[in-house]
Amino acid sequence: MADETGDPLIVLSAVNKHFGPLHVLRDIDLTVGRGEVVVVIGPSGSGKSTLCRAINRLEPVESGTITIDGDPLPAEGKALARLRADIGMVFQSFNLFAHKTVLENVTLAPVKVRRRSRAEAERRARELLDRVGLSGHADKYPAQISGGQQQRVAIARALAMDPKVLLFDEPTSALDPEMINEVLDVMRQLAQDGMTMVVVTHEMGFARASANRVVFMDTGKIIEDRPPEEFFTAPRSERAKDFLSKIL
């Protein structure tokens, strides 16, 4: 659960971003507390991915401020790399290194970026692979395991950096239906363990069960930002009602 007394972990304030003439983030204000799980939903093209990418500056923004754990997001250089190391990201498309084993995928960044010894990184990687239910798969290559297993490796890889927050951008959207739950189970467990998470997803069951807040976006704006039980039972905006009527 969110630590109500602590400073927030992520604060976006009046953030704006265009792609050419397209205004994709419009005056975004968003606060994520420590241990909070914020689920971001909204129609395709509403700016959800851009919002995620802005949080670790994969997309630069034009105005507004973004702070992570009290530090303003630096524009570039070592300071940005340091801050990014604290922000784990899990994509729809897994993005594992195809020519590296599962174990190597999970140990690479801790050794290179965190300067951990190989032995220490491997010990921790095996622990994390066990935690995501993949202890028997350390020496396989991504092509030898299922999509659901690959996505769980991607989660273990993100966790191996001991991030302050994990960002998920539609982590189950590329998966066959029978594999979705094995990934959501891992995410539910992380939420329960107090991991701070920002999750873009269409999995409303996950949102209802694990989110502290649901953020509904449309055309680059945050339209609603409320606890899931309120949002799902009584959406305030017509746009949210319309969206929910289409997906539920």
Which residue is closest to Mg ion by CB? 49
For the chain, what percentages of helix, strand and coil (3-state, to nearest 5) are there? 40, 25, 35
| 48-56, 58-66, 83-91, 213-221 -> range binding Mg ion (CB under 5 A) | 48-56
Residue 44 near which of Mg ion, ligand ADP, none (CB within 5-8 Å, type-dependent): ligand ADP
User: Binding of Mg ion at residue 46 (CB under 5 A)?
Assistant: no
Identified binder of Mg ion from the candidate list 8, 39, 49, 51, rule CB under 5 A: 49
188 three-class SS: helix
DSSP letter string, 100-160: S-HHHHHHHHHHHTS---HHHHHHHHHHHHHHTT-GGGTTS-GGGS-HHHHHHHHHHHHHT
Closer by beta carbon to Mg ion, 122 or else 170: 170
Chain positions contacting ligand ADP, by CB under 6 A: 19, 22, 24, 42, 44-50
- Cα–Cα distance between 84 and 191 in angstroms, integer? 21
- Minimum Å gap between C-beta 49 and Mg ion is 3
- Minimum Å gap between C-beta 48 and Mg ion is 5
Closer by beta carbon to Mg ion, 129 or else 207: 207
Report the 10 Å Cβ neighbour count for 74: 15
Residue 147 near which of ligand ADP, Mg ion, none (CB within 5-8 Å, type-dependent): none
